[in-house]
Chain A
């Protein structure tokens, strides 16, 4: 379980996160929402060690993440970033293999077991056919899956995802989020083959897909965590309207009860 307690973080003159407290347990997915600048990315950066906290604690079980070396932390926390500029000279296999770095020596030598893990992670996101393709030749959706596979190869109990669906077509968005859900809720066969349920935190823009995959929703506004609860609890018109400074309406999908949100 990942515990964030009273975390304040930001830059010297400018605090972005104010006393955020949050828990992410194994086997659950929390969607992190909020307008731009609310601190979603900052939170992810603080947890993954890019940003030093000004105050507060970040723990996994009872280990203090802020006092760890980069290598130790990277065995607990893996991040799926957005697909910005990707270096062109890597094949899909090579990119996913980089995910094993926390477990390898200085020369990055991979053993047979590492190779198995890499292939399994690629299989999990349906990338085995594309193993030798150059990563820049792939579509946006495929690229994002590569980065997910890389994070999976790190074999960490916690996965953080920073707006992973930002540049994807709708079909790929849904596809990806279903993958994310399965990471926290693996099928019985997956559990039997040794896959442990992850703790997943996903920063996401699109409010309408949340209910499909998130167990909990955390709403951030101006650096504070203003509401944490189930999707139905958080996705209330009045709460969201205040957060996004826009009158919003919610409408449940009659088939499954999932809420759709749109401006009035």
Chain B
């Protein structure tokens, strides 16, 4: 009993620490006491004595807290989907972008960026909506291309994913080369990091990510069985084709929403599942939720670094996740004694 709860306790503690870090640190360091006072004042509907100009409150409630919530959602979505795909495709190199989500989203975003939208609520949502549509469309194309009769063989799916991704990336590059002013905006978006501040990106991604991740959490045991191959899983009573479609649907929803609102953030979805596996084993009933917690923490921490390391510049988060994530992963790899963690 103690053994099952411990990993969760550890991951939750790390997440809470990361959340505090994310909220306290930035271009202005807000001490814990000020934070408490600000929250209390906000709940009472007053202005805090420690913040006469109101700029701390604006920074906290309009910038940092919504950003923190968004990054928790995105990090959980990426790591959760990544671990689900690693189980589904039985491939340690699988990440949430394997079947075209990121390149589809990128193409959608860049297409939207090359059009001048009116400055209205809908116009401002053009890029995330288009990115989401692009992501979902790419996955649809991949599943249709890979289909053989009623089944979608794994190898076909991976190959179709690679092809569709390549096509979408080339399309994106073509659009970027032809643009002049939008080039910068596109590059920053593709490198990952939320370009929309405030609560809007949180609200538009929340339903998809919540639904997607909740569904995945129910599929831990079937994923375990699937490790023995589709045939054996079927013979053990798992409705394999249905489970695979649901996993792909849920993971795509969550990842598309994450990427559409926060850009392409790589590495989190690939590495966190491996770290969790090395520490606490490959039982997907634990791996999925622990990965979600770990992904959220990693993203929060790397975002703090991205915001502070060359302040006032904010480096796109996707760069930092790779720069920091890789050495971290190698360190965990070295410390792991187990050879059979995968």
Q: Report which A residues bind B (CB closer than 8 A).
A: 45, 48-50, 69-71, 73-75, 77-79, 81, 86-90, 94, 98-99, 101-102, 104, 106-108, 134, 136-137, 154
Taking CB atoms, residues of chain B closer than 8 Å to A134 are 340
Further contacts, 10 of them, CB under 8 A, given A48-B235, A50-B231: A70-B240, A81-B231, A89-B281, A89-B282, A90-B227, A98-B225, A101-B237, A102-B237, A107-B218, A154-B236
Task: Bits for B317-342, please: 1 = Cβ < 8 Å to A, else 0.
Answer: 00000000000000000000000111
Taking CB atoms, residues of chain A closer than 8 Å to B224 are 98, 108
Neighbour of A50 across the interface among B234, B277, B283, B285, CB < 8 A: B234
| Contact across chains for A101 and B340 when beta carbons are under 8 A apart | no
| Contact across chains for B277 and A102 when beta carbons are under 8 A apart | no
Taking CB atoms, residues of chain B closer than 8 Å to A78 are 235
B221 interface residue (CB < 8 Å to A): yes
- Chain B: residues with Cβ within 8 Å of the partner, total of 27
| Contact across chains for B227 and A101 when beta carbons are under 8 A apart | no
| Contact across chains for B342 and A102 when beta carbons are under 8 A apart | no
A182 to chain B minimum Cβ distance, whole angstroms, is 22
A-facing residues in B202-257 (Cβ within 8 Å) = 218-222, 224-225, 227-228, 231-232, 234-240
- Chain A to chain B contacts (Cβ below 8 Å), 23 pairs: A45-B231, A48-B235, A49-B234, A49-B235, A50-B235, A69-B239, A70-B234, A70-B240, A71-B237, A74-B235, A74-B236, A79-B232, A81-B231, A86-B228, A87-B90, A87-B282, A88-B342, A89-B281, A89-B340, A101-B225, A106-B218, A108-B220, A136-B340
Q: Given the known inter-chain contacts A50-B231, A89-B277, A90-B227, please indicate yes or no for A107 contacting B221, CB distance below 8 A.
A: yes
Nearest residue (CB) in A for B285 is A107
| Contact across chains for B239 and A71 when beta carbons are under 8 A apart | yes
Taking CB atoms, residues of chain A closer than 8 Å to B219 are 106
B221 to chain A minimum Cβ distance, whole angstroms, is 3
List the count of A-B residue pairs having beta carbons below 8 Å apart. 76
Neighbour of B236 across the interface among A69, A98, A107, CB < 8 A: A98
| Contact across chains for B220 and A107 when beta carbons are under 8 A apart | yes
Taking CB atoms, residues of chain A closer than 8 Å to B234 are 48-50, 70
CA of A134 to CA of B282, assembled, Å: 12
A107 to chain B minimum Cβ distance, whole angstroms, is 6
Q: Given the known inter-chain contacts A88-B342, A89-B340, A107-B220, please indicate yes or no for A101 contacting B231, CB distance below 8 A.
A: no
B128 to chain A minimum Cβ distance, whole angstroms, is 33
A-facing residues in B274-315 (Cβ within 8 Å) = 277, 281-283, 285
Q: Pick from A49, A79, A89, A136 the residue with the most CB of B within 10 Å.
A: A89
CA of A57 to CA of B176, assembled, Å: 60
